[in-house]
Structure 1
Amino acid sequence: MNRPRASRPVLIAVAIGLSAVLTACTGGSGDSQNPADSGSVADDSAPQEVTDEGEGSAPAGEDGSAEAAGLDPANLPEPVATGEIPAVVEGDDAGEATMTVNFYGLKREGQTVVGQFSFAVNSDASDEAQWIYDYLGKQSWHPFLVDSVNLKRHGVVGSAGGKAQTNSQGPKFRPGQTFYAFAVFAAPPEDVTTMDVSVIDGMPLVTGVEVQ
């Protein structure tokens, strides 16, 4: 299986800018309906904040682009998991629109782990560009990881400028276009080599994902 390019200065810069303030696990909001949201998993819900918005605190490239997500669209790796969930599209009165979600894997970058994703809406009802927030029914995207060894949930890392992930209300995209995304999480201890991933609400938990 092809892997993402080894040189990823964008994601490394994000990781370096955040690593100084990370503990073993930071929190973030998740979707309470997700099966990983159980009483047996510790949920550190208050995200750590970065007060220094120095160089590298934001990804290069247009948000939602493959470059910003650290992916090469001409040489994409095989997805670790793919799911199809309902999507809300203006003019789709029959409710037939769907969103195909690809998860490409986890990459350890120092004290952080970076996840890479893509989204594509399937609908003939409209070609109007919308936020991913709109396609999700006015809901933000909240991925998270589960360290099943230490029973801890890792939410997206927080910073002074917001969360270290692709913005749910950033650029818009049309049905048929591919929207690429990344999310940064606190890394688990070195002896933890796999994690479970809640990619998006409505998609089954992806278990035993190797941390590269």
Structure 2
Amino acid sequence: MSRTRTTALASIFLVGTVALSGCSLLGGGDGASQQTTGTDSTSQTDGSQGQASGEPGVVAYDESKVVATQEVTLPNGLGTATVEIYPLRVEGKTQIMTAFITPHLANADPSSPTYTDFTLYDFNGERRWEPVLIDQGNLKQYSPLESTGLDFWTTDYTTAIATDGVPMPVWAVFAAPQDGTTSFDVVIGESYPRFANIPVE
């Protein structure tokens, strides 16, 4: 994949001036499962849920597209967060998972000497954002496409910063569904409940 196309794929998920970040949220899968990854995609993405492919846009928070929500307790006494997820969207040889994390910080006063901004590292204490899709019916685990060089397939945890009460978009790109699968369980972190039966569009 060219550097230009790869950069375009990552860039369409930016919202305003909010940078995106990532952290690894899941270790190895069940020994009985097969892991599905990919290394290339020739599809272009429009960056907007439900738009026709090829039309430019950005992923902006849209509550009407949320299909599942969970409230989680953040580690280290940081507070809580609302996690909302969209349907998985197929783009050519790939499928894209988009979610929004809204932190509710215990210390939300920027003037406080102990105040810190919220990052994806704070979400689970990992240095990558790497959600996993589980195909229960076919015993398969889908991991995000592998990154090499300037290829970016997940939100970058090093640059994303969120503020109290503001939805932060996070995303990951996977290989397109196999075996006619129409829904997946989505694991966003080992310490958080999985999202069940998230549909594929």
TM over 0.5: yes
2:83 aligns to what? 101
What residue in structure 2 maps to residue 117 of structure 1? Answer: 99
Q: List gaps (5 residues or longer) in structure 1.
A: 1-9, 16-28, 60-67, 90-94
Q: TM-score, normalised by structure 1?
A: 0.64
- 1:144-159 matches, within 5 Å, as 144-159=132-147
- Count residues in correspondence: 168
Tell me how far 1:102 sits from its aligned partner: 1.0
Rate the CA distance shift 1:137–1:171 in 2: closer, same or farther, 3 A: same
**Equivalent residue, structure 2, for 1:62:** none
Is the Cα–Cα contact under 8 Å of residues 25 and 124 in structure 2 kept in the other structure?
no
- Work out the percentage of aligned pairs sharing the same amino acid: 25
Alpha-carbon shift at residue 153 of structure 1 (Å): 0.7
The one of 198, 202, 206 equivalent to 2:195 is 206
- Which residue of 143, 149, 154 maps to 1:165? 154
Distance 1:163 1:201, change over 3 A: farther
| Amino acid paired to 1:112 | T
**Equivalent residue in structure 2 for 1:71, among 59, 78, 101:** 59
Q: Where in structure 2 are there 5+ consecutive unaligned residues?
A: 11-23, 48-55, 111-115
In 2: Cα distance, 1:97 partner to 1:30 partner: 19
Partner of 1:5: none
SS in 2 for 1:159: coil
* Contact 2:25–2:128 under 8 Å retained in 1: no
1:129 aligns with 2:132: no
Alignment-derived partner of residue 6 in structure 1: none
Query: Is the 8 Å Cα contact of residues 156 and 163 (structure 1) preserved in structure 2?
Result: no
Show the counterpart of 1:38.
30
> Is the Cα–Cα contact under 8 Å of residues 30 and 155 in structure 1 kept in the other structure?
no
Question: How well do the aligned residues superpose, as a CA RMSD in angstroms?
Answer: 3.6
